[in-house]
Amino acid sequence: MFAILVLLVALHNCTPTLGLHNNNNNNNVVPYSSSTSSSLFSRRKMIEGIAGFSIILPSCCACRQVDAVSPPLPIGTSYERVQGIGGGYDMLTDKPINDVDILFPPSLNGTWVCERKVISVEGDINQAQGAWKLLGGTIPNTSGGGGGGDFQKVVEKYYVRFVDLRRDTDGIIGLDGKKYYGDIFDRGYEMEERTSSGSSSGSGKSTLVQWDPRAPNTLKYERSSAAAVTDGGSSSSNNNISPATELKVVQRKVEPQNNKGSLVGSNELIRVTTKITNALFGSSFDVTYATRVQRRWRRSTSEEGDRVVEGLEIVKTYRVLDGIAGIEFPTSTVKSTIRLTRTYPTRPPTT
């Protein structure tokens, strides 16, 4: 544009005034001369140059505009909501998980007695206790008050089991180098038993659980009034204490067993969704939490010589804003010990 203005100014300065001129004395026409012919020739050349430059200039500008536009995304791809945010994870997006589930050695197949206890709590105590309850933690209804209602003093005891589904994806390599079908942890059975451990009624299971072992990443449950009361509430407020809850594994990392006694390790990021009901306005809405559960198992023996499985569990909570969890800095950390013993003696025979 600046070059066009320069050319126009030059054209104005070098081009004489041609045509009819009014003269007070006479009305004569300006005579045509050789200087006039050369001026017309120069003017014609300059106009041709401007016309050629005006043709080139728009094409150059168009090229610059095309380069400034971002290229289209390939088909099937999209930008993530957490792009450019360090340590953030989108809890509302379901991404495929490489490991279908955590596979355990077939020697764990069957039912075990699980005894677990919280050994330390760091950070926000309220968020730690909230995650502990949403993951199934229950205060036993005992004559001693269940540890005074403090989940840090509770010793939970209930049944768990490992099952063999014989799927093509369940193959594991044993320590002897042979291939076996691995077992999976029955998450639905554990949730039923763990939440029912605080029920004093003899009506059987107090929690409704929905879980498919062939789609193990999603578990839904709802505690009944019997289990809700034992968690420190009253029967009149059960709707707020025991809402329907969904546990969805959105990220998983598995560490295989080794020959040093370690069975398997797991690291799962779980999206916890529960429904909050407003009794005053009669409305309800979903609340999303982010919880990471890390476990490591190893073989051991009891004082009596029975074979046992010991585990260490670390549960972390994170702040969630608009569905984005800040997984870089946990708001609370709970460490628990887990001990699995068989329902029958497994000690070697005495001679």
pLDDT digits over 51-107, tens only? Answer: 554 444 444 444 444 444 445 555 554 556 665 556 789 999 888 898 889 999 999
Q: How many CA atoms lie within 13 A of 334 on its CB side?
A: 26
Beta strand pairing call for 245-255 and 215-223: antiparallel
Task: Catalogue the E-assigned strands of 125-202.
Answer: 155-163, 171-173, 179-181, 184-185
Q: Is residue 349 part of a domain?
A: no
- pLDDT of 231 higher than 90: no
Report the pLDDT value the prediction gives residue 99, as an integer from 0 to 100: 87
Cβ-proximal residues to 64 (8 Å cutoff; 6+ apart), any chain: none
Q: How many CA atoms lie within 13 A of 64 on its CB side?
A: 6
Q: What does the pLDDT average to over 173-185? A: 89
- pLDDT of 108 higher than 70: yes
Cβ-proximal residues to 125 (8 Å cutoff; 6+ apart), any chain: 332
Low-confidence winner among 115-119, 177-181, 347-351 (lowest mean pLDDT):
347-351
Question: 117 and 60 in one domain?
Answer: no
Domain containing 10 equals 2-19+34-68
Res. 237 pLDDT band, cuts 50 70 90: very low
What's the whole-model pTM score? 0.70
Q: Is residue 283 part of a domain?
A: yes
Report the pLDDT value the prediction gives residue 61, as an integer from 0 to 100: 43
Q: Is residue 60 part of a domain?
A: yes
Question: 102 and 173 in one domain?
Answer: yes
Question: 192 and 327 in one domain?
Answer: yes
Element (H, E) at 313: strand 307-318
Res. 320 pLDDT band, cuts 50 70 90: very high
Question: 228 and 189 in one domain?
Answer: yes
Question: 217 and 95 in one domain?
Answer: yes
Q: Is residue 228 part of a domain?
A: yes
Report the chain's mean pLDDT, rounded to a whole number: 77
Report the pLDDT value the prediction gives residue 7, as an integer from 0 to 100: 54
Question: 235 and 113 in one domain?
Answer: yes
